[in-house]
Amino acid sequence: MSSVARDQVPEPGALRTFRLPPTVSDRLDTGLSLKVTSMPRLPLVSVLLVLDAGETTAPAGREGVAVLTGEALRGGTTLRDAEALAEALEGLGAHLGVGTGWDSTTLGLTCHADRLPEALALLAEVALSPAFDAGEVEQARDRRLATLQQRRMSPAGLADDVFAHAVFADSSPYARPLGGLAGGVAGLDAEGVRSWWAQRFSPATATLIGVGDVDPAEFTGLTREAFGAWADNGGGRTDPAPATRRADEPRVVIVDRPGAVQSELRMGGTGVPRSFEPTLPLKVFNGVLGGVFTSRLNLNLREKNGFTYGVRSRFGQRRGAGPFSIAAAVGADVTADAAREAHEELRRLMDGGPTADEVASVREFMAGVFPLQMETASRIASKLSEQVIYDLPDDYYATYRDRIRQVDLAAAWEAGREAVPLDHLVTLVVGDAESLAPRMVGLGLGAVEVIAEDEVPPFYG
């Protein structure tokens, strides 16, 4: 007979302490900041250069210039052309990663620790001595335009873009897609890329992060060799983008895709900036709503009703007030039901608050998975870059688990009530309007507007 008490959840053993590997900060005379975390278990190093060069700094009429510049940086340097550059990087076993966001551009790579000196020198060459050859920039621009065209035909990409446009006023850059609109991107050229790069790439507003099998002093030395000649251009830190909402009234927008087998659903509005406090209680609130698998939204829309493969809610992380959104792909015939259930779950949570049990569960989840989010060199580098971009305190990660465990029901509920724009909700559906529109009208989510799919191009330019 079984000796196993299968009816009982096993008791946990003794908790073992987790200590994040420490991060050492330093600064070169030129103003370039350094952050280094030694993690010598594997002979790998991840390097990330973080620049105050996001899309919010794109001048009017040149939207998309940050994203295009990121691509154009791969087009060669004053020392070697695009092909030689790719061969040099990949010959070191490294892929150059370029990330452009609203608030930053990041250039990064991961390589064998024995190859770090050469890799750092190449990274510096890419960032400081780009060629921005006219032909190369033109090629990069054509690929960007093709990407924009592709995005329009992906239901999820279209939904995200039109949702953003419905939520934010034209005075906010957040109303447009990050990479710009086709009309504007088509007008970008090498000169525009070069002048924006010259304004935004500066050591005084940049940080170089190194994580992995590297000693901090050695990393500083290598950085001085590779980046030491980089001169400050005198430009300061940029301001967060304005984030005014387009309309106060709740409303429903349907982008018509006749015959679509599934609808992309978005519901939300203007959220809060990354600097919002209390930030951790808000993360817990969002976890209960739609941030974890056992969230209220997912248990309802997926596990109870089978409307969707999965639903999530999130607050976009930006220095300005980014969007709050609930997102799901739902069955065409149950779209209105899914919208109604999502709205009711949101309203119920706002009105009645989470339960103590839900708050405890999410908080333990977030504290427990934190070490897993800090397991790889590139992931730690990415977390450190958030610290830089959003001005988080130096001990933010060191104290994260303790602080998240202190979040209680009242704090989480209060944060959610403050941050969720319940009275100004935008509901966006990409789907078959003929069958959807009549059923969306009755939900009390506001006036219903239908946009034909081929009427979206004016917005896309």
Residues 366-405 that bind other proteins (CB under 8 A): 366-369, 371-372, 375-378
Please say which residue, 44 or 346, places its beta carbon nearer to other proteins: 44
**Candidates 49-57, 124-132, 135-143, 389-397 — which segment interacts with other proteins by CB under 8 A?**
135-143
Site string for other proteins, 48-87 (x = CB under 8 A): --------------------------x-------xx--xx
Q: How far is the CB of 385 from other proteins (least distance, A)?
A: 18
Angle at 160 between CA 241 and CA 301, to 5 degrees: 125
153 binds other proteins, rule: CB under 8 A: yes
In the beta sheet, which residues pair with residue 110? 46
Q: How far apart are CA 116 and CA 106, in angstroms?
A: 18
Between 96 and 115, how does the x/- string for binding to other proteins read (CB under 8 A)? --------------xxxxx-
User: Which residue number, 321 or 380, has a Cβ lying nearer to other proteins?
Assistant: 380
Q: Which of residues 326-355 bind other proteins (CB under 8 A)?
A: 329-331
295-324 binders of other proteins (CB under 8 A): 299, 302-309
Q: In the window 184-213, what residues touch other proteins (CB under 8 A)? A: none
Q: Enumerate residues 228-257 that contact other proteins by CB under 8 A.
A: none
Task: Supply the minimum distance, in Å, between the C-beta of residue 149 and other proteins.
Answer: 5
Q: For residue 14, state whether it binds other proteins (rule: CB under 8 A).
A: yes
Contacting residue, 30, 33, 129, 147, with other proteins by CB under 8 A: 147
Nearest CB to other proteins, comparing residues 52 and 71? 71
Binding mask 263-302 for other proteins (x = CB under 8 A): -----------------------------xxx----x--x
